[in-house]
Amino acid sequence: MARPARKEEPKLWQEFKRQSIQAAVVRLMCREGLDSVTMERVAQEVGIAKGTVYLHYRDKQELLDSVKESSLEPLTARIDQILSGNAPAPKKLEAYALRYLTYFDENRDLFRILLYEREVMRTHGSRYRHDRYRKLLNGVTKVIDDGIAEGVFRPTESRKVAAMFVDAVVAMVNQRLLADESAPVEDDARLIADLLLHGLAAEGAEPKTRSRK
């Protein structure tokens, strides 16, 4: 039994070093801004040789991409749970918006840097080709299709509406990151959901009253 454990040690050690490098990038960005992130500065922050950083990441852009993906993994996992849960379709969409906006609010400094200061390094439409975006789009499309099947939503082009919803949430995140002060995250999530659901409501359907806390 000892041999498999020894085989796993190098892999675990490599993953630990990658996580240490990513954590160093986050500290540097939040403390000194994006310009402070160089392969040499990251190596100094971790306490390793610069060549070790290059063993894990080809260049600064790949390193920042990795940090962004790791930072978004908890959000992606929670959104998956929401979309695949048993709540009614309208509640799923509102919960999606609330969780998305809340997560970016909780990590405001990090994502302001990753999403805005890096804009010059990325093409504008790159996120639409990303697997994460397609996964979100597929999940929201299924929720809307389910709502149509249940009679909660009227028949519509679900994938196009899903794209509108996903992009509306991202647009609200952008506004919140750029603003010095923002409305309560619950209000903005409710605004997105209410605007979309008003247009999706089946003819004759009575909207449910939601308590405002």
Secondary structure of the chain in the HEC alphabet?
Answer: CHHHHHHHHHHHHHHHHHHHHHHHHHHHHHHHCHHHCCHHHHHHHHCCCHHHHHHHCCCHHHHHHHHHHHHHHHHHHHHHHHHCCCCCHHHHHHHHHHHHHHHHHHCHHHHHHHHHHCHHHCCCCHHHHCHHHHHHHHHHHHHHHHHHHHCCECCCCHHHHHHHHHHHHHHHHHHHHHCCCCCCHHHHHHHHHHHHHHHHECCCCCCCCCCCC
User: Which stretches of the chain score pLDDT less than 70?
Assistant: 1-9, 115-129, 199-213
pLDDT number for residue 35 = 84
**What domains can you pick out in the chain, each with its CATH number?**
1-57 (1.10.10), 71-213 (1.10.357.10)
pLDDT number for residue 208 = 53
pTM across the whole model: 0.73
pLDDT number for residue 200 = 63
pLDDT digits (tens, 9 = 90+) for 104-153: 888 887 877 776 555 434 444 555 567 888 999 999 999 999 999 999 99
